[in-house]
Amino acid sequence: MAVTGGRPRLATHGLRVSLGGTGVLNGVDLEVGAGELLAIIGPNGAGKSTLLRTLDGLQPSYAGGVEVDGRPVGGYRRRELARVVSFVPQNDVPADDYTVRAFVEMGRYPHLAAWSALTAEDRRAVDEALELTEIEHLTARSMKTLSGGERQRVWIAAALAQGGTILLLDEPTSFLDYRHQVQILDLLGRLHAEGGYTVVAVTHDLNGLVADADSVLGLVDGRVEFSGPPAALFDGAVLARIFGSDFVLVAGGRHGLPLVMPARVGS
Ligand code: ADP
Ligand code: MG
């Protein structure tokens, strides 16, 4: 995988994870350089979410190596890791009722001393995150009343307020309509291109998020089936190997890449 010089910010070596007695990750090697955007793709059940959780130190037992900024992820204290890595899970409505501002403020918890209130610096980080994600007008709203696209931006705002410069996102554009998909893609593009964030996103959005990525990791059954730039991925045989389905490629995608879509019999 292309590393843009210097030490990788994230790395795994021969990573294996078993859940319920089954191998879910079966020897995954990856490296993500500083400022790089990595897209992780693969069929349902391939182990993509498990890989993200492991990179965020949330998988207690694994074999092989997982390193964040050159240090084993298990060697970080939880709060310390949370200041470096922010994880946006496949989100849903939180069980408890929060206003948008209160939810984004929770992103600051890794920075707060026990029982202490937000400092001026915490407030500044929250305000900046609200501004970057363009949700300032929503701060007083209940999370339960938001549209899916609005809620996704709030989750990203909480991750940004957290202050880490490595962002892990699990299917950030799934379930969004087209306008909201584009908003999230533009936001991630800005964070990556202008903000210097290192971004790892699990996605099925081949023509959007994958086409924008610096590199792509294709997982199948917990193994790396593909690793390389989007241009090498956009090949009918490669896509078929990953997804077990035929694809049609036509000219006209982003960055001079083809557009890809699943082929259907009789179309
Ligand atoms: P993906 O995100 O690629 O769809 P996941 O990482 O969520 O895949 O899951 C990979 C595999 O691990 C799936 O087969 C899933 O059923 C299994 N799995 C996930 N969590 C557990 C668990 N706690 N116990 C047993 N199997 C699990
Ligand atoms: Mg998943």
Q: What is the pLDDT of residue 1?
A: 41
Q: What is the pLDDT of residues 199-213, one digit of tens each?
A: 999 999 999 999 999
Examine the pLDDT at 248 and tell me if it is beyond 50. yes
Q: Domain locations in the chain?
A: 1-84+165-267, 90-163
267 pLDDT tier (thresholds 50, 70, 90): low
CA distance 75 to 57: 10
Percent of the chain with pLDDT over 90: 83
pTM: 0.94
Examine the pLDDT at 260 and tell me if it is beyond 60. yes
Q: What is the pLDDT of residue 3?
A: 45
CA of 158 to the centre of ligand 1 (A): 26
* Section 172-200 average pLDDT: 91
CA of 113 to the centre of ligand 2 (A): 33
For the Cβ of 18 lying below 6 angstroms from any atom of ligand 1, the answer is no
Q: What phi and psi, each to the nearest 5 degrees, are found at residue 67?
A: -125, 135
- Right CATH for 1-84+165-267 from 3.40.50.300, 3.40.47.10, 2.60.120.260, 2.40.50.140: 3.40.50.300
112 pLDDT tier (thresholds 50, 70, 90): confident
Q: What is the pLDDT of residues 24-64, one digit of tens each?
A: 999 999 999 999 999 999 999 999 999 999 999 999 999 99
* Section 119-143 average pLDDT: 95
Mutational test site, ligand 1, from 50, 51, 56, 221, max ligand atoms within 8 Å of CB = 50
